[in-house]
Chain A
Amino acid sequence: DSGVTQTPKHLITATGQRVTLRCSPRSGDLSVYWYQQSLDQGLQFLIQYYNGEERAKGNILERFSAQQFPDLHSELNLSSLELGDSALYFCASSRGAGGSPNTGELFFGEGSRLTVL
């Protein structure tokens, strides 16, 4: 158990719909990262928040948005869903902001599997 909680674990929806994925980071971790993993693909970095502020943005589509709340949990919103958005979405957390010589490890949640029909 990594201490990172993601809900829902599975989600099936239709094209054009909107969904929200939720992530609670490990206790004490200030950074939350979102990754997309399509079938047999690598981990595509979407976005990172640190202590409520957007820290870095990766290949996140304009149809996607995220935020981190004062209690440090984060939500990833996916709208106007397309078939190609079907994937496993991972949230990860870390203690620090990342990108420094003392960068700690990432703790991953179990992921939210999104299926768009």
Chain B
Amino acid sequence: GQQVMQIPQYQHVQEGEDFTTYCNSSTTLSNIQWYKQRPGGHPVFLIQLVKSGEVKKQKRLTFQFGEAKKNSSLHITATQTTDVGTYFCAGTGNQFYFGTGTSLTVIP
């Protein structure tokens, strides 16, 4: 079956440092979505990428969709303590396939 892997599983950064999480699918995806789950909360939609090679920015967050539509990345510039949480990618092929998630800790 389809698998979506994310690396790293955990990441600790000092506040102000950059952070990147990578998402890789075993098959080609129609779209890729990114979600953020704050500690004790529920996943919240961040963005959807549709086109091959697409890049989207949301303030300090930059999202990329690979040319082959099998991988994606989320980059946060100058992390803040409000960025703490787990970031999930979700590939939409026939269904929503959530990645394993990257838990981000930001040390003040």
Residues of A within 8 A of B (CB): 2, 33, 35, 40, 42-43, 45, 48, 56, 58, 90, 92, 98-101, 103, 105-111
Residues of chain A contacted by B96 (CB below 8 angstroms): 33, 45, 98-99, 103, 106
Q: Does B52 contact A (CB under 8 A)?
A: no
Chain B positions within 8 Å of A105 at CB level = 33, 45, 48
- Tell me how far the C-beta of A83 lies from the nearest C-beta in chain B, rounded to whole angstroms: 22
CA distance A106 to B42 in the complex (A): 11
| CB pair B99 A45 closer than 8 Å | no
Picked from A40, A42, A100, A111, the residue with its CB within 8 Å of the CB of B98 is A42
In the bound complex, CA of A40 to CA of B95 (Å): 23
Number of B residues, CB within 8 Å of A = 24
Min CB gap A66→B, angstroms? 15
Q: Which residues of B contact A107 (CB under 8 A)?
A: 45
The complex places the Cα of A99 from the Cα of B30 at a distance, in Å, of 8
CB < 8 Å neighbour of B88 from A43, A58, A109: A43
| A98 near B42: Cβ-Cβ < 8 Å | no
* A42 lies within 8 A of B100 (CB): yes
A106 touches B95 (CB 8 A): no
Residues 52-96 of chain B: 1 if any A CB is under 8 Å from the residue's CB, otherwise 0? 000000000000000000000000000000000000101011111
Q: List, in ascending order, chain B residues with CB within 8 A of A42's CB.
A: 88, 98-101
Closest chain B residue to A100, Cβ basis: B30
User: Told that A103-B31, A108-B42 touch, could you supply 17 new A-B pairs with CB distance under 8 A?
Assistant: A35-B98, A42-B101, A43-B88, A45-B95, A98-B92, A98-B95, A98-B96, A100-B30, A100-B92, A103-B30, A103-B96, A105-B48, A106-B33, A106-B35, A106-B45, A106-B90, A108-B43
